[in-house]
Every structure is written in structure tokens, then in C-alpha cells.
Amino acid sequence: METTPLLEIENLSISFKTKRGYLKAVNDASLVIHEHESVALIGESGCGKTTLSTAIVDILPLGARVTEGEILYKQSDGNTVDLLTLKKKKFRTLLWSQIAMMFQASQSSFNPVKKVRMDFIDAAKAHHPRMTEKEILKKSEKLLTLVMLDAERVLNAYPHELSGGMKQRALLALALLLEPKLVILDEPTTALDLLTQEKVVALLNELKEEFSFSYLFVTHDLSIVSELADRVVTMYAGRIIETAPVASFFQQPKHPYSRGLIDAMPKLALEQGELVSIPGTPPDLIEQTSGCPFAPRCHRKSSLCTEQMPPMTTSQDSQHEYACWHPYLGV
């Protein structure tokens, strides 16, 4: 595995201004994505996955503000820039050409009154004005075929003429058009039926091999994580609480929350026996407490847990990083 960092998120905090006060959706999060690496961001609903990933591509929702941190990106020319302080114009040149995204809401990003071909042509022309339409369409056809679509039909269709699954795959082809180095996918398979899900996961793996880019993908589905990720990052209450290589994550999760997620996973749990859900619900992120945010739901907690937030610790074999006073060690 190549270990050159492509994206380094350092001590990132993001708050939403709400009627009840500031809600800290991302809290001091640090995360590295290496070149050619596929990283899965997991955690229950509302733990900050989408907020963190939208910050990378500068599409934070209204009311959200980065209060601290850096997002360092190594550009194709080798220079590193902080995406958070980059001028808008420069940022736009990076977007799609080096960093592409496919978000839950992005199915509606096709222009509803134009044929799909125009989205491909406009995207390519914006970055490569000298590319001819013929060249763009040839490349688009190749990519659409790769994602198992009838290229001619899709390019000549209006978005509403395509099913959800077709649109999702067409978006993937569009995201790859400019050969980005990093692709950010938010719930890439959520809108798809099981069979199409399997195809898309297989396809994402193939595409990664063919184009050797990096993925950051957000998902609730741990079975996809096991098939697609090289490394897993667990978030809870806006914090990153564990990161580990995928095999080690599933075999020996250190943080009780990661273990809880695995035990609550139907497909994986059934093979091993019982399926157990995590009691309770994530905390209100407006009320920040000093201890570990998972403590109220954790069966391993001690008084220390409710008093002090555990620091990020590296496991003895250097495989895991976890923030827990009472991790599962030697399992």
C-alpha cells in the first residue's frame, strides 16, 4: 500500500448556528487519506460524517462554519494547499479535475432541462476548454459503458428519463470524467436495490484499480465497508474515535462503539451469532460535556470516562488509533 498522504484533515471543528445555540457537528477531527487508499467513514446518523465530507469540497450547508483546523491537499503538481483558505477560483479548478464528489443529494445535480450529454460537455469544457465535443463524448461513452450503462441512451436522455440507480451510475461516470485523484462518495449505494448495490461496489473496486484514485466514502452499511475500504474511520458525536485497517477493524475493534456497530450489523453479526443493538441514542451536540461522549451508552465506562475525554492513542501494533480509556486490547 502506497503511504503518501493525499488529504490531511487536521483538528477540524465545524459548528452550526441554531436557535438553541452552537451545535458542534465536527469536533477536533483529524484524518489522513493516502494516495490510492479507500477510506470508509462510519457512524450512526447525526455523528458528523456528511458535515465533515462536505467541508472538504466547500459545500457546507447554510449555517455551518469551520471554527478550527486545516484541510491539506497535495495537488497533482506536488504542492500542498489548505482547501479551507484557498481562493474560490482556485478551488473551482481543483474541484472535479482533482477532487470529485457524489453526494446523496447530487442525483438532482443533473440539469433537468438539458440532455445528460450537456452535463458531461459542460463539466469537461469548464476545465479543458480546448477539448472538442467529439473527444468529450468519446470519453463519456467509455466511462458510461464502464459503469454498465447504455452510453448512447443515457447521453441522449433527460435526467427524469433515468431511474435512480442509472442516475447514480451516470453521476459516477461524470465524477470520473476529469480523472480526479480523490473521489468523495456519500452513501454511494443507498438509493439502489441489493443487486445494483453489489454491482456498484464491484465497479467502484474495479475503477479504483483502473484509475488508481483514492476514495473517501460515507456509509451506514458495514458490508460495503468490508468490500470496499482499505481503512475504516469511526465517528461518534462529531469526533473521530477510531481508525484502523479494514481487516483489523472487523476482527479486533478497540473502541466499544466500533464494536457496538459491528455487533449491530445484520449481515456480519448473523454469521457470528447474535445481533445486538447499541442501547440509547447519540448525545445532543449543543450540550458539550467534558468526558467521553459515548460514556452514557458504554458498558465499560468508569468515572474517568465521564470526567475526561480520552486522548487518541495508538495501539501497540500501530494498526489502530482509538480514543477510549477502556479499549478492547489483546482480543
Ligand X SMILES: Nc1ncnc2c1ncn2[C@@H]1O[C@H](COP(=O)(O)OP(=O)(O)OP(=O)(O)O)[C@@H](O)[C@H]1O
Binding-site ranges for ligand X (CB under 6 A): 16, 18, 23, 25, 43, 45-51, 61, 63, 285
**For residues 63 and 280, which CB has a smaller minimum distance to ligand X in the complex?**
63
Closest approach, Cβ 232 to ligand X, in A, equals 15
**For residues 18 and 302, which CB has a smaller minimum distance to ligand X in the complex?**
18
Closest approach, Cβ 45 to ligand X, in A, equals 3
Closest approach, Cβ 181 to ligand X, in A, equals 23
**For residues 28 and 35, which CB has a smaller minimum distance to ligand X in the complex?**
28
CB 60 within 8 A of CB 252: no
Which residue has 469537461 as its cell numbers? 124
Closest approach, Cβ 47 to ligand X, in A, equals 4
**For residues 24 and 169, which CB has a smaller minimum distance to ligand X in the complex?**
24
Q: Nearest to ligand X by Cβ — which residue?
A: 50
Closest approach, Cβ 282 to ligand X, in A, equals 8
**For residues 50 and 140, which CB has a smaller minimum distance to ligand X in the complex?**
50
309/293 Cα distance (integer angstroms): 8
**For residues 174 and 285, which CB has a smaller minimum distance to ligand X in the complex?**
285
**For residues 81 and 286, which CB has a smaller minimum distance to ligand X in the complex?**
286
Closest approach, Cβ 185 to ligand X, in A, equals 13
**For residues 41 and 154, which CB has a smaller minimum distance to ligand X in the complex?**
41
The residue type of 132 is T
Q: What is the 3-state secondary structure (H, E, C) of the chain?
A: CCCCEEEEEEEEEEEEEECCEEEEEEEEEEEEEECCCEEEEECCCCCCHHHHHHHHCCCCCCCEEEEEEEEEEECCCCCEEECCCCCHHHHHHHECCCEEEECHHHHHHCCCCCCHHHHHHHHHHHHCCCCCHHHHHHHHHHHHHHCCCCHHHHHCCCHHHCCHHHHHHHHHHHHHCCCCCEEEEECCCCCCCHHHHHHHHHHHHHHHHHHCCEEEEECCCHHHHHHHCCEEEEEECCEEEEEEEHHHHHHCCCCHHHHHHHHCCHHHHHHHCCCCCCCCCCCCCCCCCCCCCCHHHCCCCCHHHHHCCCCCEECCCCCCEECCCCCCCCC
Reference 258, options 325, 301, 322; nearest CA is: 322
Closest approach, Cβ 13 to ligand X, in A, equals 12
Closest approach, Cβ 33 to ligand X, in A, equals 17
Grid cell listed for 33: 487519506
